[in-house]
Structure 1
Amino acid sequence: MVLLSLAASHHDLDLDVLERLSSDVQAVASELVHSAASVSGAVVLATCNRFELYLEIDDAEHAPTARTAAAATVAGRSGYTADQVAAHFRLLTGTDAAEHLFAVASGLDSMVVGEREIAGQVRRALTTARRDGTTTSGLESLFQAASRVSRDVEARTGLGATGRSVVGVALDIAEAQLPDWSAVRCVLIGTGSYAGASLAQLKARGCTDVRVYSTTGRARAFASARGVHALPPGADLAAEVSDVDLVVACSGAAGAVLGVDALAVARSAGARPLTVVDLALRHDVDPGVRALPGVRLVSLHTVSEHAPAEHAAVQAAHAVVVGAAEAYEAERRVRDWNPAVVAERTRVLGGLESELVDLSDERAVRALRRRTREVLHGPTVRAREAARAGDATTYAQALAELASIPVPTL
């Protein structure tokens, strides 16, 4: 069993490219598992600034084949060619794949270093794979370990405790053009997890006049549960935002729900300044609104340019992640290599028990069992230590020593 990741993120690609790669993400894992013989499991992690596939394959030699299959599957939905998709992906295996996911889950690879939203997104990616039947025991172990490492990083370094997030940085940027938060009138577009995080941030800053808009019909329930108001279904969004101070958009709808022409018509001459925060990868708001008089647009690109720089806690967090990845990979090797050790021990100990069936001397039975286990102990320990260290040569020697131990006879 080999785990590998195919990663594309804001570090190397424009967000528009990531948006195209992320098209129809829910179908990618299922198609890969059911159509690619080399892939036994898949988890897709798609966020506002990354698109990553985590795959389980049966042999490292099949990594190129798995990458080709993944590229073809994504290409069929993104409009790119398979070669273009493959060029966008960074391939990692073994310890490198584990270290990357642990860093991602801990917020170390985020647009805003140390943000905590990604930890929940990692958990939800695994939940989705479970629902769709594409996860495996290896991927379960990897993603559960990533969540543990994320918590460990926060507990040991304090990174993330300050609540830095994409939403928080975006609102910090928006704040410069807004009145006092208690006087801000806001329309929130969306009802998902990002909308929930955005509303929490707005309330924490003192903004209470928030109205929720959704194209899915969930605005009323979302708003009622959180003590704010919902715009009625079918409301004219452009008209509703014509006299507010702030729009926070994070619905992830397929296509802009607020267009530049409609907003231009709705805004009268001399309208109050409007700040639009668009956190949707697929642009809830037409980027052209930035050209309208009195309108300021804060996008994911803006957040990327203003994200806080790394600080001392980040270096400590990286050390935690590296150590955790090495330990995870060591334990994975022990699990993968141990069956051969168990088989040899079972051969010897099982054969011994067959020999002891007719022996009635309990003291002699106990003594023979003890001596046999002592003979097995040394090569067993050496084999498992070699597996943990990734020392295939020493492991093979220890396994050969176990295989040479005969079944004791009376």
Structure 2
Amino acid sequence: MRRIWAALTTAAVTAAALTGCGLSSDTKSGDTAASAAAGEVKGKVSLQTWALKPKFTDYVQGVIDGFKKKYPGVEVEWLDQPGDGYSAKVLSQAAAGSLPDVVNLPPDFALPLAKQNLLLDVAKADPKLADEYVAGGVDAYRFAGQNGTFGYPWYLNTDVNYWSSELMAKYGLDPKAVPTSLDELIAQARVMKEKSGGSTYLMSRKPGLGDLVNAGVKVMSEDGRSFTFNTPEAAALLDRYRDAFKEGLLPKDVLTNTYAGNTKLFNSGTAAWTTGGGNFITSLATDNPTLAPKVVPSPAMGTPPLYVQGLSIPRSTKNPAAAVALARWITSPENQSAFAHLTSIFPSTKASADDPFFSKSDGTNAGDAKVIAFTSLAKAKILQPVPVDDAMSTVINQQIALAISGEATSKQALDTAVDRCNQLLKG
């Protein structure tokens, strides 16, 4: 699943190009599809997933077989596309008018299709959507400037804070009282620096858009047509990181291309804090079995980030009733729970909160982390706006680095980042 989550947490390759391809769809046909979704479930329906074969072939085929048993006479064609080049494949299918009836699309892949009016408003077709799926998952498929909900949330993940109890105790900190705010983080980072002589860090990453959101900064306008994160509050946050960097509370190379990365520093014992998914300790037990038992998990500071995969339905589907029924079936609590037992993901349904597999720890730190992550999903949100692509991320990261290094004021850096990102958004 690493390749799935790696793809899920990065922007779609060339996905924004869809907005310039002249793709379109008739509004009336979409309204007809939404109303027809309540019809009889029968006939042929196609499903496209992303890089689930061969590891999860038995699982997906079992879900399909269960659907066919529930709806006798239905035929399901399952297509699974390779991980590499998936966005280009979806683009090609959309341009050719050959999108399958149910398509696995993360929000950043769904957005350009929604902009071209190619996706069914599943909330209109399925009034129970908001009642049965976690709010953040549903909101992930509601896009600024677009009227509708363009996907069923499928499997989810979020981040948890992880702390090295050994390093904290060694350098004068209490691993039972880990930081819960930026103020506490900076204060404890200062203690660790002083006690370790600067050899070990508590803070080891620069801020990003998610940190600005958690500081109350509005990153984009309501209509999604412009970025707005060059605010006094955003500048104040960067100023705090600049001061911390100047004080030596972060590694010197954290702003450079040679930076090893927060997780690598944590694994090597150079940093005492990192973030990761709910399964981080389990994977760490393989990579660093000595460190894993000494890790303490805690909830993400502020609003937890949400990572989403979902299922969308083209407005052009010739079998909307079967398409909606299949999407609901795949994302049902039972089928999502079965999937989560096989790999490190979490279900998107509210009913899953009653499943002890997710809601109760086995008493280990890994079990605690899983429960923390799952519980966090109830309030988790996509912190970085879906329209932010790789080019925009590069600009933002470069300008934040300039602000923290002191080569530009925070206001200058933010103004430049907003101006360049707005140009990219319009281009």
Scaled by the length of structure 1, what TM-score is found? Answer: 0.29
**Higher Cα Rg: structure 1 or 2?**
1
Larger relative contact order (C-alpha < 8 A, sep ≥ 6)?
2
More helix by share: 1
